[in-house]
Chain A
Amino acid sequence: MKLTKLLATGAVALGLATGAWAQDKTKVGFVYVGPVGDGGWTYEHDKGRQAVEKEFGDKVETVFVESVPEGPDAERVMTQMALDGADLIFTTSFGYMDPTINVAKKFPDVKFEHATGYKTAPNVSVYSARFYEGRAVQGHIAGKMTESNIVGYIGSYPIPEVVRGINSAFIHARKANPDVQFKIVWAYTWFDPAKEADAAKVLIEQGADVILQHTDSTAPQAAAQDAGNVITFGQASDMSEYKPKPRVSSIIDNWAPYYIARTQAVMDGTWESTSTWDGIREGMVEIGEITDAVPADVKEEAVALMNSIANGEYHPFTGPLKKQDGSDWLAEGETADDGTLAGMNFYVEGLEGEIPQ
Chain B
Amino acid sequence: MDLSAINPVLLVASLMVAATPILLAGIGELVVEKSGVLNLGVEGMMITGAICGFAVTVETGSPALGFVAAAVGGALLSLLFAVLTQVALANQVASGLALTLFGLGLSALMGQGYVGIKPPSTPKLDIPVLSDLPVVGRILFGHDLVLYLGIALVAAVWATLKYTRAGLILRAVGENHDAAHALGYKVIRIRTLAILFGGACAGLGGAYISLVRVPQWTEGMTAGVGWIALALVVFASWKPWRVLLGAYLFGGVTVVQLNLQAAGVAIPVEYLAMSPYLVTILVLVILSADKSRAPASLGRSFHAAH
Contacts and interface: CB of A to CB of B under 8 A. Distances in A.
A222 B211 CA distance: 11
B237 interface: no
Given A37-B108, A194-B223, A217-B218, A152 B262 contact: yes
Contact of B268 (A184, A207, A219, A356): A356
Interface in A37-79: 37-39, 67
B213 interface: yes
B204 to A, nearest CB: 15
A201 interface: yes
Given A194-B221, A217-B221, A241 B254 contact: no
B216 A219 contact: yes
A107 interface: no
Counting contact residues on chain B (CB < 8 A from A), the size range is: 35 or more
B81 to A, nearest CB: 17
A353 B264 contact: yes
A36 B219 contact: yes
Contacts of B196: none
A218 B210 CA distance: 12
A37 B219 CA distance: 6
Given A195-B254, A198-B254, A356-B269, A219 B223 contact: no
B262 A191 contact: no
Interface in A204-227: 205-207, 217-219, 222-223, 225-226
Contacts of A152: 262
Nearest to A196: B214
A186 B108 contact: no
A353 B269 CA distance: 10
Contacts of A197: 213-214
B111 interface: yes
Given A218-B116, A222-B215, A193 B268 contact: no
Contacts of A201: 14
Given A198-B14, A206-B263, 8 more contacts: A39-B116, A186-B269, A194-B221, A195-B254, A197-B214, A201-B14, A203-B262, A219-B221
6 contacts: A37-B115, A38-B219, A192-B223, A197-B213, A199-B258, A353-B264
Interface of B: 5-7, 10-11, 14, 18, 21, 108, 111-112, 115-118, 121, 209, 213-216, 218-225, 254-255, 258-259, 261-264, 266, 268-270, 273
Interface of A: 34-39, 67, 152, 158, 183-186, 188-189, 191-195, 197-199, 201-203, 205-207, 217-219, 222-223, 225-226, 239, 241-242, 352-354, 356-357
